[in-house]
Amino acid sequence: MGSSVPSIGQTWRAIRDRLDTAGIPMAALDARLLVRHVLGLDATGLILSESDPVPGGKVSDLESLVARRLAGEPVARILSVQEFYGLDFRLNPATLIPRPETEMLVDFSIEHLKSHPAPSVADLGTGTGCILLAVLANLPKASGVSVDISADALDQAQANAEALGLADRFGARHGSWFEPLGEEKFDLIVSNPPYIASATIETLEPGVKSFDPMAALDGGPDGLAPYRIISAQARAHLVRGGVLALEIGFDQGHMVNELLSSEGFCDIAIAKDLAGHDRMVTARVPK
Ligand SMILES: C[S@@+](CC[C@H](N)C(=O)[O-])C[C@H]1O[C@@H](n2cnc3c(N)ncnc32)[C@H](O)[C@@H]1O
């Protein structure tokens, strides 16, 4: 008589099939991540445990996470962690799940600052701290401050800085945009602000509108409210020749370009993401 307890391999494949049947993309990856999380296994551990039985006490834990995924909750939210730029960022309910397209702000920042002897960076609307912390992890002489209006998000960014061993070059400032920065000036200001028009939020997929915090999404009536504030005030917080890099929505490049040029920025450039959508605007303060 064989055991009726399913093996770990059978279990993750059965979960994969349930997620796939429910139309969830990346069903296989999600199934493996959920099983690994509940059983405390890394990727290799999952392979090596293929034939082992799922411990009895873990079956209901796993089932409750699968139910959450089937209800549309993103895996990153369920596990409270998201990989970004090769680093793990812990999440809390006040933080946006870092998105892969935001990595292009990190690419740009590293490339722009790599020859600078000791660059300073401000990250406005930091969430998990992912942009600034990925920059600091790759530029050992850089330091920076993270600003967020959400004290809970900022607490998570601070915890992530500590977990990544970057806290000595990282500062957390609570408040709205430039308000907590006093007179400070930076070599680079980066921001991925909320940029969804308020009325559009209702139309977003459930995994976004129900599980990402509203303060991370809502960019006001036309989605441009944060860009108006940032473009009007950034020059006062950048050194001469300092640079601003902003993530934008796919249809906002033209308007953000206009805002920045009316504030006297030069070398304004719009860059596309890997999907071919306008995703980042960069601009420089004249020297
Ligand atoms: C789109 S999320 C980006 C989070 C993170 N930088 C990322 O790329 O994953 C925007 C962030 O801006 C913050 N935020 C919204 N309004 C703000 C304000 N007035 N001042 C500072 N931060 C603000 C939100 O709390 C949220 O963390």
pLDDT of residue 1: 41
What does the domain layout of the chain look like in residue ranges?
8-71, 81-284
The residue type of 278 is D
Q: For residue 2, report the distance from its CA to the centre of ligand 1, in Å.
A: 54
Q: What is the mean pLDDT for each group of 10 consecutive residues in the chain (287 residues)?
A: 78 98 96 97 96 94 97 96 97 97 98 98 98 98 98 98 98 98 97 96 86 94 97 98 98 98 98 96 96
Count CA atoms closer than 13 A to 82's CA, side-chain side: 25
Any atom of ligand 1 within 6 Å of the Cβ of 249:
no
The residue type of 286 is P
User: If you classify domain 81-284 with CATH, what class do you get?
Assistant: alpha beta
In angstroms, the CA 116 to CA 273 distance is 26
> Which of 96, 133, 247, 273 has the most ligand 1 atoms within 8 A of CB, as the residue to mutate?
96
Q: For residue 7, report the distance from its CA to the centre of ligand 1, in Å.
A: 43
> Which residues fall in the annotated binding site for S-adenosyl-L-methionine?
125-129, 148, 177, 192
Q: Which of 62, 58, 36 is nearest to 49 (CA)?
A: 36
pLDDT of residue 112: 98
pLDDT of residue 208: 87
Compute how many other C-beta atoms are within 10 angstroms of the C-beta atom of residue 54.
20
In angstroms, the CA 187 to CA 176 distance is 20
Q: Which of 197, 177, 202, 170 is nearest to 255 (CA)?
A: 197
How many DSSP H helices and E strands does the chain contain? 12, 9
Do the beta carbons of residue 172 and residue 146 sit within 8 Å? Answer: yes
Any atom of ligand 1 within 6 Å of the Cβ of 261:
no
Tell me the sheet residues that pair with 82.
Answer: 89
pLDDT of residue 4: 73
